[in-house]
Amino acid sequence: MAKHRDPLAPQPPPAPTRTDSAEIVEAIVTAAIHLGPNVSINHVARRAGVGVASVYRYFPNKAAIYAEISRRLQSDSLERMRRILREPNLSVQEAVAECCRAAVVAPGVSPELRSALNLAVPLSWSHENAHEVFSATIVEFTNWLAGRLETPPPDLSARVFVAFAAARGIVMVSRILPDLAPDDETLARHMTSMVLRCLEL
């Protein structure tokens, strides 16, 4: 009897072995981002300029494409935070505000697609990448704060963890319930206030 793959088992990222294969994967992901949710694999293939078989060679279903987009957004959020923290003239409050805005606004990705990413991708599919990215985010932000504060509190890492977890929850719920969420600028402003309270700075 053939073994069925566990649908909740992590979906591995595409692993192109040649330059042209990497370009096909990039075209597929870019097409899916541009088209947004509620489109078929056929639409994605047409927009990417490849055959449907090429899409299925790297992505067994649309959720697998979304999983790759989700992994990229997670990694991009870490890189954007790093760029913000390298800015020499930002105060702690300004850096927190910029990081919150970066968490809320994903350039080039529609709110509808971000909502679909939260709903269509099983957590187990992105857990490994999320664990790596979120851990690095918490550790690096804690270290940055420790270097900026005159007297860092002894529980600084716990404060950063709680602030980060609360901020991630705000982003996730705002994407799942877009009709109830405020606009992005309002959301980022309230998130900044909440993070600063969690940090008790």
> What DSSP letter does each residue of 142-164 carry, written as one string?
HHHHHHH-SS--TTHHHHHHHHH
**Can you say whether the dihedral through the CA atoms of 189, 191, 194, 196 is positive or negative?**
negative
The alpha carbon of residue 54 and the mean position of all alpha carbons in its chain are separated, in whole angstroms, by 26
Helices (H), 109-155: 111-120, 123-148
Q: Is the pLDDT of residue 2 over 50?
A: no
Percent of the chain exceeding pLDDT 90 equals 60
Q: Is the pLDDT of residue 57 over 70?
A: yes
- Which residues are CB-neighbours of 193 under 8 A, at least 6 positions away? none
Q: Is the pLDDT of residue 30 over 70?
A: yes
pTM of the model: 0.82
* 41 and 52 Cβ atoms separated by less than 8 Å: yes
pLDDT of residue 17: 57
